[in-house]
Amino acid sequence: MHYFHSKQQLFVSTMEPPAQLREIPDIASAPRESWPDLFAQVILSGLTGPSGVLIESAIRAISSEADAAQLFRESYFERMVLPMVASFGVSQPKLRAQMLGATITGLIVTGRIIGLADFFNAPLPVQQRLLASFVRSALFTPLSDDELEELEES
């Protein structure tokens, strides 16, 4: 860490998203029914190997450093997840992107940090189907106009 002078500078140096996760916006050009499966494949590929370690480290840092949380939000959420969800043309993209972000973060916290690793130990096709079901729900669950008005007022 002495090369970076602070934890924040070290964290900033790692904030370029892994290559697998930068591919996410291209999913919108595929047929709509395939979006959840493609999203799950890209996310799972980004959670393995060195990129998975990087994301895990970032999540550990954001849990204790407010500045790191802001950098993570700007780098991952605002530059990647939100634009990807918005490119799908779904209603309430910010709400849906936050749901997807919570799901992914939850997977990392429970599986990698807490050590409840059954999901990550399951065969890859099982992981993809389970994650795709959450993505499908987050993207395509209809929201009524009344619910949307309540959200906009809050």
pLDDT at 1 over 60: no
What are the tens digits of pLDDT across the range 119-139? 999 999 999 999 999 999 999
pTM across the whole model: 0.79
What are the tens digits of pLDDT across the range 6-46? 666 565 555 666 665 665 667 888 999 999 999 899 889 88
pLDDT at 149 over 60: yes
**pLDDT attached to residue 2:** 46
Type of residue at 102: A
For the chain, domain boundaries: 8-17+32-141
**Confidence category of residue 3, pLDDT binned at 50, 70, 90:** low
Q: Nearest Cα to 139, choosing from 32, 54, 52?
A: 32
Q: What is the mean predicted confidence (pLDDT) over 60-79? A: 79
H and E: helices and strands count for the chain: 10, 0
Q: Which single residue is written with the structure tokens 């209603």?
A: 91
Interacting residues of 92 by C-beta distance below 8 A, sequence separation 6+: 143, 148, 151
